[in-house]
Amino acid sequence: MIESVDIVYGLAWGDEGKGKIVSAKSKHYDMVCRWNGGPNAGHTVYINGKKYKTHIIPSGIFAGKKCVIGPGCVINIEKMLEELRMLTMAEFDVNLIKIHPNAHIITEDHIAYDKKHLGHLGTTAQGIAPCYSDKMLRRGTRAVEVLEPNWIWDGVLDGSILCEGAQSVWLDIDHGDYPYVTSSTTMPYGACSLGFSPRKIRQLIGIAKIYDTKSGVDPLFPETLWNDPVLNQIIELGGEYGSTTGRKRLVNWLNLDKLLKAIKLSGCSEVIINKCDVLQKVGVYKLIHGNELMEFADISKMKTYISNALLYGSGIDVHDVQFSGDPEKI
């Protein structure tokens, strides 16, 4: 029987550090489930000082929890097997990983189409959109048709559940900056596709960074940002390189207007803001609010301003704001 469901998801354009948060919180749950996306997502976590990257397998595997890849996900079998080998070599129990029978399979044709036709949108060229297209056209291949039965999930959700989102609000297929979006529902209500009632949701935990980043093409992140020496310093100090593609992420100052809108749209009750230590290393504290660039004397003043905006903003129902720096800790 399901006791409760908490959902972790991104409030920006991805790469907010969701994997780190899920990995740290997983020890308090019975199951960790992924509901959207495929190998276009990359979650990086640190365990005992060692760095691990996963792309489809939920970060709960690092805490020894039963992990489910949901029906809204798409799977590249070869890449998944690579992750399983990596986890096995690191002595994590991969038998805890199960896949919903209705998850869809990415083929070589999907990848080839992506590379040939979708590069102008800045996709990761992983075949995600073509796979979802075939799913919607009712001609896709589902996991139950090709995977060994021991990998297929029995559909039973039990105990306390933590759901791990991939990508973010502004990459959502319906609410993001179309067409520069992903091909699935990134909003937290998409997690209900795993098979639970919305009434079971206890907490919506939204993740952001104290500055904004974007992988790939997006008019909201103009190419002129590459010319800013401080933003380039943030790229290097923050390690802002895509987990999936390795390409540099464009950086801009935190757009508080967009963050507030994302919170209103998705309804999160708790916000965690990562990478505060990066700005402290740079020594420059700026954000955009009311379409104006604001600068603060120190990180403390900037945090206070953000907290007040999130806790007391009109139409905002956030009851807790946390700030994080060390990538190995919340």
Active site residues: 15, 43
Distances (CA, A) of 36 to 15, 144, 178, 314: 15, 17, 18, 30
- HEC-encoded secondary structure of the chain: CEEEEEEEEECCCCCCCHHHHHHHHHHHCCEEEECCECCCCCEEEEECCEEEEECCCCHHHHHCCEEEECCCEEECHHHHHHHHHHHHHCCCCHHHEEECCCCEECCHHHHHHHHHHCHHHCCCCCCHHHHHHHHHCCCCCEHHHHCCHHHECCCCCCEEEEEEEEEEHHHCCCCCCCCCCCCCCCCHHHHHHHCCCHHHEEEEEEEEECEEEECCCCCCCCHHHHHCHHHHHHHHHCCCECCCCCCECEEEEEEHHHHHHHHHHHCCCEEEEECHHHHHHHCCEEEEECCEEEEECCHHHHHHHHHHHHHHCCCCCCCEEEECCCCCCC
Residue of 21, 67, 27, 66 lying closest to 46 (CA atoms): 21
Of 62, 55, 70, 56, nearest to 22 (Cα)? 62
Using CA atoms, how far apart are residues 60 and 96, in angstroms rounded to an integer? Answer: 10
